[in-house]
Amino acid sequence: MFGTWFRAVAVAVVVGPLRPCLAEDDCLECDMKMLQLDAKVSDRATKKLLSNCGHLTQETCDPHANYPCSNNCPVHTHGHDCYRPVPEVMAEHPGEDGYCYFNQTGFWVAPMPAEPDFLQSAIGGILTLRDLPVPKGAGYPSPYRGLHTGPVLTFHFEGKVITTQADAAHYSYDDLYGYSLGYLQGQGLSIDLVRNSTAWIAASKQKCDEIQQTYNFQNHELVLADWLDYNAVIGAKVSCAAKQPAAADSAVLEKAKFKSVDDCEPVTARDFAKHHYIKCLLGYPNSASDGAYLNVRACLLDGGTRIGHFSDCPFSPDVSF
Ligand SMILES: *[C@@H]1O[C@H](CO)[C@@H](O)[C@H](O)[C@H]1NC(C)=O
Ligand SMILES: *[C@@H]1O[C@H](CO)[C@@H](O)[C@H](O)[C@H]1NC(C)=O
């Protein structure tokens, strides 16, 4: 499904009536399992980072997660450390990659090569996520049918009104996430930086430092298992910001305070910042890869009121759309 290596990107599809449909062949759970098993990394390039990688203690994801394959802590070799602050855990493992240590705790957590190619990893993420199956009736084209084929969404976010066209279900989350972090094209970071991995990792570190200066997250807020569980909650809160239904797991809806499209809590910039900041703590190449994906796939247009994709944007990656 992917190239020789692929690092699952940092975002999840959480729109529509998502349920771990364990008994069905074409269910999300099964596809997530495939996603996980296909997340190969090239041995040569990753050797340096692949010391002390964690792995699952069983073949399949923990079915108790609030979204398929999004929290495998109970069945992970380093699962005990999921419930401690990430800064404390990583301080005990200097020089190790957190995406290796916590490999596959969530489907997007997989170590990347020691010499990353962020443009390629972004393309891998784009191609994988666009074709994740969407529950029937969710209102998004699935599989992806092309540019400008999905519903137009209007976000009310942090006092601003921004539109996008959701050509795949994950667009709502990823578009607003990229915008919120300032990672979209047109928000100041150039694609030339993405092409230079050293420079891009440095830019990511700077972004991470800015986030922590702004939000001053405390250790108790930075627990890996909470981060994994909150991803689906962010998805529901993104749906709220777009006044879209979010028929997720009931625990997710409760945590997101989502009762209806008119009685729910929209996602905040702080939610997105914290989601990204954990990636910073797990290693700047991981936050850099997240940022590259967000930059390569979308841009801010029309004076900051519309998010576009591919040929809408100054830079469009070499993939069909
Ligand atoms: C990551 O975990 C998966 C699932 O247990 C495992 O198959 C894979 O080998 C692990 N990756 C590394 C680099 O150890
Ligand atoms: C990449 O960025 C680094 C750090 O900014 C710089 O020193 C280096 O010259 C750049 N490499 C290329 C090929 O532009």
Q: Which of 33, 103, 107 to mutate to test the pocket of ligand 1 (most atoms within 8 A of CB)?
A: 103
From the DSSP assignment, how many helices (H) and strands (E) are in the chain? Answer: 12, 4
Between helix 284-297 and helix 118-130 the angle, nearest 10°, is 60
Residue with tokens 């979209």: 184
Positions of the chain with pLDDT under 70: 1-49
Atom 11 (ligand 2) nearest CA: 196
Count Cα neighbours of 149 within 13 Å in the Cβ-side half-sphere: 13
Residue 199 near ligand 2, beta carbon < 6 Å: yes
Nearest CA-CA partner of 168 in 187, 194, 148: 148
pLDDT digits (tens, 9 = 90+) for 220-260: 999 999 999 999 999 999 999 999 998 788 999 999 999 99
Cβ contacts of residue 147 below 8 Å, gap of 6+? Answer: 167, 309, 310, 311, 312, 321
Parallel, antiparallel or unpaired: strands 298-301 and 306-309? antiparallel
Pocket of ligand 1 (CB under 6 A): 41, 50, 53, 55-56, 103-104, 111
pLDDT of residue 49: 56
Q: Which of 56, 77, 102 to mutate to test the pocket of ligand 1 (most atoms within 8 A of CB)?
A: 56
Write the pLDDT tens digit of every residue in 25-74: 333 443 444 344 334 444 444 445 577 899 999 999 999 999 999 999 99
**Model pTM score:** 0.88
Instruction: Measure the CA–CA gap between 307 and 321, rounded to whole angstroms.
Output: 16
| Upper half-sphere CA count for residue 84 (Cβ side, 13 Å) | 11
Best residue for ligand 1 mutational test, from 72, 104, 109 (most atoms within 8 Å of Cβ)? 104
Order of strands across the sheet with 160-165? Answer: 152-157, 160-165, 306-309, 298-301
